[in-house]
Amino acid sequence: MKRKKLLQKILNTTLKSQVNKMYGDGSYVTVSNISYIRSKKCHLISVTLYLTDVENGMELFPDGLEIIIKQGWGVVGDGQPIAIQPSVDVKL
All domains of the chain, ordered by start, with CATH? Answer: 3-90 (3.30.300.20)
Are 23 and 52 in contact, with CB atoms under 8 Å apart? yes
The predicted structure's pLDDT at residue 78: 83
Virtual torsion, Cα 65, 30, 28, 89, nearest 10 deg: 80
Confidence grade of residue 79 (pLDDT, cut at 50, 70, 90): confident
Q: What is the pLDDT of residues 8-25, one digit of tens each?
A: 999 999 999 999 999 999
Inform me whether the pLDDT recorded for 67 exceeds 70.
Answer: yes
Residue 63 has pLDDT above 90, yes or no: yes
37 in helix, strand or coil? strand
pLDDT band at residue 38 using 50, 70 and 90 as cut-offs: very high
Q: What's the mean per-residue pLDDT of the chain?
A: 94
